[in-house]
Chain A
Amino acid sequence: MIVMQDVYKTYKNGVTALNGINVDIRQGEFVYIVGPSGAGKSTFIKLIYREERPTKGTIVINDKDINQMKEKNVPYLRRDIGVVFQDFKLLPKLSVYENIAFTLEVIEESPRNIRKRVMDVLELVGLKNKARFLPDELSGGEQQRVSIARAIVNHPKIVIADEPTGNLDPETSWEIMRIFEEINARGTTIMMATHSKEIVDTIKKRVIAIEDGVIARDEHRGEYGYES
């Protein structure tokens, strides 16, 4: 599913973010990515949907070497990966509804199906009554939920979330985790970078800890392992 071999990443400004990563994540797994700020978690995540490319090493997603992938095929890779961005990345001039529908328009879904699926997913994240709002008119937590809705609406094989509960109150956080567990139960691979000790230690899953650009720990049913 997701295989990385000897992956190094040094940014143009000389900062080395990843220093030899080897990892193998199977279809249907639920993985927490933990580690201190600046340890390379975000870089690790960006490599998977090819926002960044590795300086060295191979990355294979769904049996495709994405480093060899032609530029024109990258959009198709990204359609299989739903991403919840740390800064949400919602389109500011589109309504909540249109933001989520965009992902389905891209794959040329029929308007009827788009309507149905967008409304279903809005129901799931509890924003059905805010469908016509613009992102700016929502709170941070609500924007985050729109971002989650957009990431999962086209049933991708992999969902990647960079601190999806970072801006949420505890109650909504658990609600979001329930959604992730639900789509994980349907066979979707979930990869979630988080700083929440409470979540990691309560909902036990595989934990990959990244420190100084290398994998420090990789445990099934692991613990957060840092002071919160």
Chain B
Amino acid sequence: MKVNTIKRHFREGFKNIFRNGWMTVAAVGAVTVTLILVAAFLALMLNLNEMAKNIEDDVEINALIEITADEDEIVALGDQIEQISGVESVAFSSNDEELDKLIESMGEAGESWQLFEQDNPLNHVYIVRAENPADTAPIAEEIQTFDNVHDVNYGQDVVQRLFEFNKYARTIGLVLIVGLIFTATFLISNTIKLTIMARSKEIGIMKLVGATNNFIRWPFFIEGMLLGILGSLLPIAIVLGGYSYISNSIAKSLSLPFVELLPFNPFAWQLSLLIMGIGALIGVWGSVMSVRKFLKV
């Protein structure tokens, strides 16, 4: 294909947007509405997912070391834990450090615990993190079987339920997003089909004067892409505006633990790009699929 021909296809694609007037408005409208839904849903899902991941990443195993263990045994235990497959990090925390943490976490009431500084009742601890948070439970169980381990603590019940919940939430979210995009594609390709149906005669004429299928398809391809991109503009504006509003005002005034939204930059921009990409893809797919039927002349 010559450069001039490529230019021609782009020119025609652009012109068709204007030539089709209200049909263009209808198709762009359909893209806009569905993409707003997709965008809102994606923003929600990705944030929930991120929160879940943060919580999961915070999960750590506290392996309490027997008070009777001597220094060599403690080091040996550390090595042993490190050897477990799936362990990301093992950090030693002495009983003094543990006491400091405890006092700190209790705030004012913690001061009374300072009495124990002379006679610390706590154990030394290994803090273990799993590479994959979902492996936490089996790793903890394995550590439990080692010598010199007094007890293992990782908030068993809560963590187990959290993982369970996250797994379902992710699956459901994914299914919903895929379903939404599928519905959007169907809706949009139908609207675009209407605009092309009105031009089926023209496609026939083009074929009769010697145009190849590709020659006819290209402007439609570009037109579909433009429709998709035009349709993504308003959703993107809403994403950028809405997200900056939410992340600036609401999230700060609520300031709940764990509720930390993905930062506006880059998340909102990435989401915008994704929305534009989805729009363009849907537009191209819708128009190319619709032209196909009319090319058999």
Contacts and interface: CB of A to CB of B under 8 A. Distances in A.
Given A49-B208, A83-B208, A102-B206, A93 B4 contact: no
A78 B209 contact: yes
Contacts of A110: 4
Contacts of B205: 89-91
Contact of A108 (B4, B208, B209): B4
Interface in A29-75: 49, 51, 72, 75
A55 B213 CA distance: 25
B212 interface: yes
Given A51-B297, A105-B5, A108-B5, A92 B212 contact: no
A85 B297 CA distance: 15
A15 interface: no
B266 interface: no
A106 B211 contact: yes
A51 B213 CA distance: 15
Interface string B1-13: 1101100100000
B164 interface: no
A92 B211 CA distance: 17
A75 B8 contact: no
A206 interface: no
B202 A150 contact: no
B210 interface: yes
A150 B211 CA distance: 13
Contact of B210 (A51, A90, A103): A103
B215 A106 contact: yes
Contacts of B202: 91-93
A108 B207 contact: no
Contacts of A83: 208-209
B4 A102 contact: no
B19 interface: yes
B212 A75 contact: yes
Interface in B1-47: 1-2, 4-5, 8, 19
A225 interface: no
Contacts of B1: 108
B42 to A, nearest CB: 37
Nearest to A114: B4
A110 B5 CA distance: 9
B206 to A, nearest CB: 7
Contacts of A51: 208, 297
B19 A93 contact: yes
A145 interface: no
A111 interface: yes
Given A75-B210, A75-B212, A92-B202, 9 more contacts: A51-B297, A78-B210, A83-B209, A85-B208, A89-B205, A90-B205, A102-B211, A103-B209, A150-B209
8 contacts: A75-B212, A78-B210, A83-B208, A90-B205, A92-B202, A103-B210, A106-B215, A108-B4
- 6 smallest CB-CB distances across A and B, nearest first, come from A79-B210, A78-B210, A75-B212, A89-B205, A106-B211, A93-B19
